[in-house]
Amino acid sequence: MKSIYFIMILACAGMFCQNMSAQERRRTRTNPKDTQTTGLPEPTVRALSKNEDRKQNTENAPWIREIYRQINLKEAANAPLYYPVEPVGDRINLFTLIFKLLSENKITVYEYLDGKEIFTDRYKVNFKDFLDRFRVLYMEKIVGTDTIYVVDESDIPNSEVLSYLVKEAWYFKASNSTVDIKLLAICPLLIREGDFGEVISMPIFWIPYENIQPHISRTPIMTSDLNNAMTYTLDDYFRKRMFEGEIIKTTNLLNYTLAQQFSTPEAMKIAQDSIENHLKHFENQLWVQPDTTAVADSKRKKKSAKAEKPKTAKTQSTAPARSVKRTQ
């Protein structure tokens, strides 16, 4: 009886080992071209130092206003973030770059929380969890003691990321008495069709802009149909504010979005225009403007004084002109 029991144990152990071996072969059976590579080398010390110098400190700013914008990639001004949809040579769109950097653990991203952004270790996003949550197909590859999650180029959901959220801070610089803008974070939005045909917009994760800036500052893009030279980088595109986006929220005590504060599209549009005008004209409101009436009176007085000034007649000489003709 003991011998039969022992034989059964050996048989089960053999089946278990065979199953594990098959699973291991299935995990490692990948095409070499499927491995995730960004095509970008690691940022140099000089590049990192330059990026460090360009950081904007808002801690001591006496005035700050945080704005959330939604960027629609189907609009012409925002097309450089979306095209090419699939990589063409060295050209890739923004989300493809983000995806590959995350797969190689080169950037840190954080969970999208409703109404707040917390960039701490507790809310870091794991690459595998991201793939599972958004149903992205992948294969596991064992390299030494590490597990790599390989995604085929065709399975990257870059064509479904049709919008971004951008959080920016408008702040007053006391050092030179000017208003500046700092990009704080960006969040890709995945647009998919629901089970009942409805369109669902799903925020994926928040990326602090300073985390991705060293990489996008070395990623050239084409920004014009009339000039196909890639003269700008993704960082230039954001820093020069070449994108267009509607304001959907401002940081407020109740943490309401504009949609929660205004019930009709007309009222929301009026609120958006009011915020835009306040931001644009805030710097002009910092200084005391001269009285326009006084300026006009001063110009009028100067003009009348100039008109009343008597003109002095030019005196003409009555002496005969001296001939310079040489006498013979």
pLDDT digits (tens, 9 = 90+) for 241-252: 999 999 999 999
Q: Is the pLDDT of residue 312 over 50?
A: yes
Higher per-residue confidence, 3 vs 209:
209
What is residue 67's predicted lDDT score, i.e. its pLDDT? 96
93's CB contacts (< 8 A; 6+ apart) are 81, 82, 83, 84, 85, 158
What is residue 177's predicted lDDT score, i.e. its pLDDT? 83
- pLDDT 10s digits, 151-172: 999 999 999 999 999 999 999 9
- pLDDT 10s digits, 77-121: 999 999 999 888 888 999 999 999 999 999 999 999 988 899 999
CA separation for the pair 271, 266 (Å, rounded): 9
Write out the H or E segment, with its range, that includes residue 7: helix 2-28
Are 147 and 140 in contact by the 8 Å Cβ rule? The answer is: yes
What is residue 310's predicted lDDT score, i.e. its pLDDT? 59
Sign for the pseudo-dihedral over CA of 96, 148, 111, 170: negative
Indicate the average pLDDT of the chain.
Answer: 81
Averaged pLDDT for residues 120-132? 95
What is residue 103's predicted lDDT score, i.e. its pLDDT? 93
Tokens found for residue 199: 């369109």
CA 193 to chain centre: 25
Backbone angles phi, psi at 151, to 5 degrees: -120, 130
Q: Is the pLDDT of residue 20 over 70?
A: no
- Report percent pLDDT > 70 for the chain: 71
Tokens found for residue 193: 């069709």
Averaged pLDDT for residues 209-216? 94
Are 211 and 136 in contact by the 8 Å Cβ rule? The answer is: no
